[in-house]
Amino acid sequence: MAAPGPSRLSLNTATVKTQWTLAQAIEGCARHGYGGISPWRDKLAEMGLKAAKRAIDAHDLAVTGLCRGGFFSAKDWRDDNRRAIEEAHALEAQCLVLVVGGLAPGSKDIARARERVQECIGLILPEARAAGVPLAIEPLHPMQAAERACVNTLEQALDICDALGEGIGVAVDVYHTWWDPKLEEQIARAGRRRILAYHICDWRVPTRDLLNDRGMMGDGVIDLARIRSWVEAAGYSGFHEVEIFSELDWWRRDPDEVLRTCRERHRTCA
Amino acid sequence: MAAPGPSRLSLNTATVKTQWTLAQAIEGCARHGYGGISPWRDKLAEMGLKAAKRAIDAHDLAVTGLCRGGFFSAKDWRDDNRRAIEEAHALEAQCLVLVVGGLAPGSKDIARARERVQECIGLILPEARAAGVPLAIEPLHPMQAAERACVNTLEQALDICDALGEGIGVAVDVYHTWWDPKLEEQIARAGRRRILAYHICDWRVPTRDLLNDRGMMGDGVIDLARIRSWVEAAGYSGFHEVEIFSELDWWRRDPDEVLRTCRERHRTCA
């Protein structure tokens, strides 16, 4: 398996969220030879949609995803997801990533939260299809089930996709899924049709925080080459998007160092 | 569904591990009307096996489990598990809980670690059967996959049980399994034959540590009554074992307050 080149690399802007604006991240991607970018919507709102689109096009970057829609546990989920679809359409994003939300406030009923996720996605899916925006359900690690996403395995996400039909798939993030005994099987099940994005980073030992202590590729215990081989065997030939939330380390470093390190580790470890 | 009485309650000694010796925990259980106790082996070694057995019998407590065997990633796993089986036999424990261990040192091969777990259990199972000690695989939360247990779902644990036959089952701990979309289905699959222990506590929001921030029943988001109903529907009628690792809260309190609170919350929330 050949080492992947930087043109296959995409920067999820959360990786440098404390250091750079979206304008700076776009220029950083171009400077370091990345082929893609995946912006978060707060950064996009700061920069403005049109300015962002112009800058992204000027540097010929692919938009490998827009982060994020979902959070169906929130009161304004309907309008917020409508806007997210519009923005993803305007950016020609390859997908809108759905972080589906956790339990309803005050509720312990995770089964109901899960039903609701499927119902809500069913309601926004026609708009997404009409806009040509594929929806990518991102299963999050079970430790984030209560607060961020009650979809926690690829199997569960694919069951939802199967129930809803076309225009929907998954974002496979190694951080959230590496531990899953059924990962290989479910990646094969997903296949080219359902894998809309592939996110990389690493799992640190020890992990010091449930949200913001992700590791740089190569600094943890995830067998990235093996998981990539599964994703490729399933027919995925898209970008490798680096997404590292790192309060204690990478968010404190010079962002050019971060992008250089991602590029190097992508070549040697991913 | 009737509220469970304290005679169905068992104290996992980790719940008061910073405050009490095993001798004190045994007396505490008796004083608060608990019907069972589940000791950790370090506390047992301090007290001595014979003294512990005498004190447990004097108070007519059931030993709902011995914590723990497993850790097949450790060098001395063979001898250590042999001793654990002997101790569980001497205490007439209802099961020996297996925390199976994570990745081998320096390894990223979780698939191999999992194969090894099944091989190692296969090697100790004849001794456990001969000693009349049921082995209980405890699937741990996926956030503990790298360091403590590479068996992370009930489905995976039951697949191992099915491969190995009689004399082995599972410990269902709500903390580790509450998020699992297949929990109800897999509890039903396990049935009375495979469910050897049922552990309770709660999942705090937010959770501040990946190991030692469990909540008291009722202080988190786990629907304990619902999970208990599944376990009972599967035919389990054994003890409810409270196991709370709580560096920031319950390990700092007066242990009699802890046992009183467990008893009260068991009645009202579990």
What pLDDT, on the 0 to 100 scale, is given for residue B2?
59
A6 pLDDT band (50/70/90 cuts)?
confident
Write out the residues of chain B at the interface with chain A, using a CB-CB cutoff of 8 A. 103, 107-110, 114, 141-143, 145-147, 150, 152-153, 155-156, 178-181, 203, 205-207, 210, 221-223
Region B130-138: what's the mean pLDDT? 98
Please determine, for residue A106, whether its predicted confidence score (pLDDT) is greater than 90.
Answer: yes
What is the average pLDDT across A204-219? Answer: 96
pLDDT at residue B155 tops 90: yes
- Give the separation between CA B235 and CA B230, rounded to whole angstroms: 9
Of A24, A19, A25, give the one whose Cα is nearest residue A38.
A25
Work out the average pLDDT over B235-246. Answer: 98
Share of chain B above pLDDT 70, in %: 99
Q: Please state the three-class secondary structure of A142-184 as a single string.
A: HHHCCCCECCCCHHHHHHHHHHHCCCEEEEEEHHHHCCCCCHH
ipTM of the complex: 0.96
Q: How confident is the model at residue A205 (pLDDT cuts 50, 70, 90)?
A: very high
pLDDT band at B5 (very low <50, low <70, confident <90, very high): confident
Please give, rounded to a whole number of angstroms, the shortest distance from the CA of B232 to a CA of chain A. 19
- Backbone torsion region of residue B195, taken as left when φ is above 0, otherwise alpha when ψ lies between -120 and 50, otherwise beta: beta
What is the reported pLDDT for A5?
A: 77
Average model confidence (pLDDT) across chain B = 97
Which pLDDT belongs to residue B229? Answer: 98
| Residues B51, B57, B59, B62, CA torsion sign | positive
* Of residues B154, B260, B172, B188, the one with CA closest to residue B222: B172
Contact list in A for residue B141 (CB cut-off 8 A) is 142-143
Residue B100: the pLDDT is 98
Q: What is the pLDDT of residues B26-79, one digit of tens each?
A: 999 999 999 999 999 999 999 999 999 999 999 999 999 999 999 999 999 999
In the DSSP assignment, the letter for residue B19 is T
The predicted model gives A12-28 an average pLDDT of: 98
Residue from B202, B196, B183, B184 nearest B243 by CA? B202
Per the omega criterion (within 30 degrees of 0), is the bond before A39 cis? no
Provide the terminal-to-terminal Cα distance of chain A, rounded to the nearest Å: 11
In the structure encoding, which two tokens stand for residue A196, read together?
Answer: 């809309």
Buried b (16+ CB within 10 A) or exposed e, A238-256: bbbbbbbbbeebbbeeebe
pLDDT tens digits along A117-175: 999 999 999 999 999 999 999 999 999 999 999 999 999 999 999 999 999 999 999 99
Report the residue from A155, A210, A221 with minimal CB separation from B108. Answer: A221
Q: Which two tokens stand for residue B195?
A: 């469910």
Q: What percent of chain A has pLDDT over 70?
A: 99
pLDDT of residue A2: 59
Integer Cα distance of A181 and B112 in angstroms? 11
With an 8 Å Cβ cutoff, are A141 and B142 in contact?
yes
What average pLDDT does range B162-176 have in this prediction? 98
Give yes or no for a contact between B38 and B64, defined as CB atoms under 8 angstroms apart: yes
Go through A71-101 and write b for each residue having 16 or more CB atoms within 10 A of its CB, e for each that does not: bbbeeebeebbeebbebbbbbebbbbbbbbb
**pLDDT tier at A107, thresholds 50, 70, 90:** very high
- The answer, yes or no, to whether residue A251 has pLDDT greater than 90, is yes
Q: What is the pLDDT of residue B3?
A: 62
Calculate helix-pair angle for B22-31, B49-58, nearest 10 degrees: 10
Q: Report pLDDT digits (tens) over A26-68.
A: 999 999 999 999 999 999 999 999 999 999 999 999 999 999 9
Distance CA A261, CA A258 (A): 5
DSSP string across B185-225? HHHHHHHHHHEEEEEE-B--SS---SSSB-B-TTSSS--HH
Chain B residue nearest residue A114, CA to CA = B181
Looking at residue A201, what is its pLDDT?
98
Q: What local confidence, expressed as pLDDT, does residue A210 receive?
A: 92
Strands B168-173 and B135-137: parallel
Q: What is the pLDDT of residue B252?
A: 98
Instruction: Say which amino acid occupies B108.
Output: K
Residues of A contacting chain B (CB within 8 angstroms): 103, 107-110, 114, 141-143, 145-147, 150, 152-153, 155-156, 178-181, 203, 205-207, 210, 221-223
Q: Residue A211 is encoded by which pair of tokens?
A: 């949200």
**A and B: number of Cβ contacts within 8 A:** 71
Determine the distance in angstroms separating the CA of A143 from the nearest CA of chain B, rounded to an integer: 7
Has residue B1 got a pLDDT over 60?
no
Q: Is B62 helix (H, G, I), strand (E, B) or coil?
A: strand
The minimum CA-CA distance between B17 and chain A, rounded to whole Å, is 22
Measured CA to CA in angstroms, residue A224 lies from A136, A189, B123, B146, B150 at distances of 21, 19, 32, 15, 17
Answer whether A147 sits within 8 Å of B205, measured CB to CB: yes
